[in-house]
């Protein structure tokens, strides 16, 4: 079985983020990057599926040259090889299009992505990727079960729904799944894994994505001010004042 995992490189969670001079995105010059955490759970699920059923795990990521570092991190954790799609696109459709360009020649049996990215959080890349590849997809996956050998072209998944409900679906392969964070305990890269990662293949693909479906026109930090109001005293009177402010000044009710 060939399993592909789409991973994204994002800034470290404790990074001090600053808006760039153009006001269109964060300043990345002095930032360190890591694997997007939801994608790390997708990678872990792929590694466990390979350990149970055999095959190979391919990691793919789209972005500038620095993305190869994150691919090496995934290879150190156990992925077999990587694909780096050189692309400057930052919107969801552009990223999904870039990933599709790298995955089409591979024809994987299963494609996994994280539920969403830590930086933008749209949660749409996996779904759009499935549409571009013409494959069935399912989201918020809590469990993946491969069918017996007499039904090798099917997979059974457990989806998380609202209010504590779950849904069980049987899907044909190939398919695209977005994995819920916390599904498994993440593994660390071993010293041997780090050494082996240096010799593993990273294929470079150039994606021809010319237009963006969405553009960030302005990015800014919220202004700091002192406009807080405290309503103390009798609770009923305080609640009446709060409702009055919300209704006639904030106009939200």
Helices (H), 78-167: 92-103, 125-133
Alpha helices in the chain (DSSP H): 37-53, 67-77, 92-103, 125-133, 191-197, 235-248
CA-derived radius of gyration, the chain:
22
Query: Residue 224 — very low, low, confident or very high, per pLDDT cuts 50/70/90?
Result: confident
Residue boundaries of the structural domains of the chain: 2-206
State the Cα–Cα distance between residues 67 and 116, nearest whole angstrom.
Answer: 18
- Give dist(CA 17, CA 33) in Å, integer: 12
What average pLDDT does the segment 144-149 reach?
Answer: 78
Confidence class of residue 146 from pLDDT cuts 50, 70 and 90? confident
Summarised one tens digit per residue, pLDDT across range 101-143 is: 999 999 999 999 999 999 888 899 999 999 999 999 999 999 9
Lowest mean pLDDT among 4-8, 45-49, 92-96, 107-111: 92-96
Q: What is the model's pLDDT at position 11?
A: 92
Q: In 3D, which of 83, 34, 73, 62 has the Cα closest to residue 187?
A: 73
The structure's pTM equals: 0.84
Architecture of domain 2-206: 3-Layer(aba) Sandwich (3.40)
């Amino acid at each position: 079985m060939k399993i592909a995992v789409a991973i994204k490189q994002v800034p470290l969670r404790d990074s001090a983020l600053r808006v760039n001079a153009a006001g269109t995105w964060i300043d990345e010059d002095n930032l360190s990057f890591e694997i997007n955490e939801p994608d790390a759970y997708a990678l872990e699920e792929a590694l466990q599926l390979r350990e149970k059923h055999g095959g190979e795990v391919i990691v793919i990521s789209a972005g500038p040259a620095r993305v190869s570092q994150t691919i090496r991190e995934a290879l150190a954790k156990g992925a077999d090889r990587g694909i780096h799609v050189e692309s400057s696109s930052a919107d969801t459709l552009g990223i999904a299009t870039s990933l599709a360009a790298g995955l089409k020649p591979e024809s994987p049996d299963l494609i996994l992505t994280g539920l969403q990215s830590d930086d933008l959080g749209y949660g749409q890349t996996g779904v759009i990727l499935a549409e571009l590849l013409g494959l069935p997809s399912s989201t918020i996956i809590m469990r993946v079960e491969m069918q017996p050998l007499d039904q090798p072209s099917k997979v059974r998944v457990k989806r998380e729904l609202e209010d504590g409900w779950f849904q069980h679906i049987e899907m044909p392969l190939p398919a695209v799944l977005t994995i819920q964070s916390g599904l498994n305990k993440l593994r660390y890269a071993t010293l041997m894994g780090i050494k082996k990662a240096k010799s593993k293949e990273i294929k470079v693909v150039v994606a021809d994505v010319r237009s963006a479906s969405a553009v960030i026109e302005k990015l800014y930090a919220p202004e700091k001010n002192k406009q807080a109001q405290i309503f103390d005293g009798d609770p009923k009177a305080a609640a009446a004042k709060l409702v009055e402010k919300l209704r006639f000044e904030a106009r939200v009710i």
